[in-house]
Amino acid sequence: MNDTSLLFRLAVALAIGLLIGLERGWKQREEAEGERTAGLRTYTLIALLGALSAILTNYTNAVFLALAFLGFSLAFSAFSWLEAKAEENFSVTGVVAGLLTFSLGAYAVLGDLEIAVAAGVLVTLILALKQPLHSWLRRLTWLEIRSALILLAMTFLALPLLPNRTVDPWASINPAEIWLLAIIIAALSFIGYMAVKIMGSQAGVALAALAGGLASSTATTVTLARMAREHPPAGPLLAGGILLAGAVMVVRVLILASALNNALLMPLAGPLGAAGLVMIAVSGVLFVRYGRGSEEHPQLVMKSPFDLGTALKLAGLIAVISLFAKVISTSAGDVGITILAALSGIADVDAITLSLARLANGGITVATAALGIGIAAAVNTAVKAGMTLSLGGAQAGWIVSAASAAAIAAGGVAFALFR
């Protein structure tokens, strides 16, 4: 390691210490001098201490770095204990942050710089998000924690045990692959579910629609439609939320399909993009016109997608649709796939999307898969427009229906042009 490289690594160690020290010092900025164990300067010096200890290891041996880390740990822990005893604030976070800063400073010299920088940013982020993380933890229920733990256990313990091969005569059902797809869908929905839970009743219609569309656009549609019936003056604004949730669903379908089979990206980008843009444009107009001064805060109630029963049902649905799609593709061809896609879209668009994306790897053509996915998304959009019309009253219902029809038409035109 030449001098230039060594100086650069020392600079990286210094930057990591400054970053962590900035966060630590900012949180303790109200405390007087001498009343805190470590702040901006101390954490910067800790990172440099770790870096210099790593450098000196090259001239001695690895035992020197271990002894330096041990000595620093004892000294820093002692000072932190004295501070905690005086303030009666027994938190170990500062000690752990100090040990991590020393370690990252040493790793910046001895290890991969990109990993060192990424770890430094991650440590700072975790430290900075104390209040949001604690608030999120308080909102969690034991049922959600238990469901997540069970699903994690089944993912990392059961998934490797599932046969990673087809087990049916039609070569369509791969237990390991189907379970993994169900986990991916549940995880994606869980992000939206937790966003809704964290924001709670303080989320406006737009934020609730974005998060709710990621978790379940159908549940979001039902909630906002019922609100529109109960609060007729807010009907257009809530209709905008329903359309925004539908646009999130369309984007989600595009991401899932192209992630599973990148050959579907181009055939689907035009139709789904056109439909999504129409819904976003109409919802934007509605939010601008009716959203100013609005105090509407939707109370979205959704079931956790990390519930074990929900995950098993989703896996079963994907397996059944995969089987039907494979059998129908060999017996009824493209027409049968189109009918299956339309029927599946009435209840769920994720399962048919994943099934057709898998089949496009060899069972059916990419064009057939793209057409089926597009039809499922269109049917699902039409169904949610019907829900709004029946649950949300005439004003919101006709707005969503007209915008949904325009979105479906735009998607159809784009599909014909791209084809």
Q: Residues 264-283: pLDDT tens digits?
A: 999 999 999 999 999 999 99
CA dist., res. 213 & res. 139, Å (int)? 21
Q: How many domains are there within the chain?
A: 2
pTM score of the predicted model: 0.71
Cα 22 from chain centroid (whole Å):
28
CA dist., res. 196 & res. 154, Å (int)? 26
* Best CA proximity match to 355, nearest among 386, 324, 377, 322: 322
Find tokens 């379970």 and name the residue. 179
**Are residues 123 and 144 located together in one domain of the fold?**
no
**Are residues 98 and 168 located together in one domain of the fold?**
no
Domain residues for the domain of 116 are: 3-128
- Residue 134: inside a domain, yes or no? no
Last-in-domain residue among 109, 128, 147: 128
**Are residues 115 and 223 located together in one domain of the fold?**
no
Provide the sign of the torsion angle of the four alpha carbons 98, 100, 102, 108, taken in this order: negative
Judging by beta carbons within 10 Å of its beta carbon (0-12, 13-18, 19+), is residue 27 exposed, middle or buried? middle
Give phi and psi for 338, each to the nearest 5: -65, -45
**Are residues 270 and 376 located together in one domain of the fold?**
yes
- Residue 133: inside a domain, yes or no? no
**Are residues 258 and 391 located together in one domain of the fold?**
yes
Residues 395 and 362: beta-carbon distance below 8 Å: no
The predicted-structure confidence for 322-380, as pLDDT tens digits, reads as follows 888 888 877 777 788 889 999 989 888 988 998 899 888 877 889 899 999 999 999 99
pLDDT above 70 for 295:
no
**Are residues 114 and 150 located together in one domain of the fold?**
no
pLDDT above 90 for 253:
yes
**Are residues 412 and 362 located together in one domain of the fold?**
yes
* Best CA proximity match to 312, nearest among 147, 197, 135: 147
pLDDT above 60 for 101:
yes
* Best CA proximity match to 73, nearest among 92, 52, 54: 92
Last-in-domain residue among 128, 155, 183: 128
**Are residues 192 and 298 located together in one domain of the fold?**
yes
Q: Is 305 helix (H, G, I), strand (E, B) or coil?
A: coil
**Are residues 79 and 171 located together in one domain of the fold?**
no
pLDDT above 70 for 300:
no
- Residue 219: inside a domain, yes or no? yes
**Are residues 147 and 79 located together in one domain of the fold?**
no
The predicted-structure confidence for 143-167, as pLDDT tens digits, reads as follows 777 777 877 877 888 788 888 888 8
**Are residues 221 and 343 located together in one domain of the fold?**
yes
Last-in-domain residue among 128, 153, 176: 128
CA dist., res. 356 & res. 378, Å (int)? 15
Q: In the structure encoding, which two tokens stand for residue 264, read together?
A: 């579907």
**Are residues 221 and 299 located together in one domain of the fold?**
yes
CA dist., res. 217 & res. 244, Å (int)? 9
* Best CA proximity match to 219, nearest among 193, 187, 184, 251: 193
Number of other residues whose CB lies within 10 A of the CB of residue 89: 9
Using CA atoms, how far residue 78 sits from 149, 210, 214, 262, in Å, is: 36, 48, 48, 56
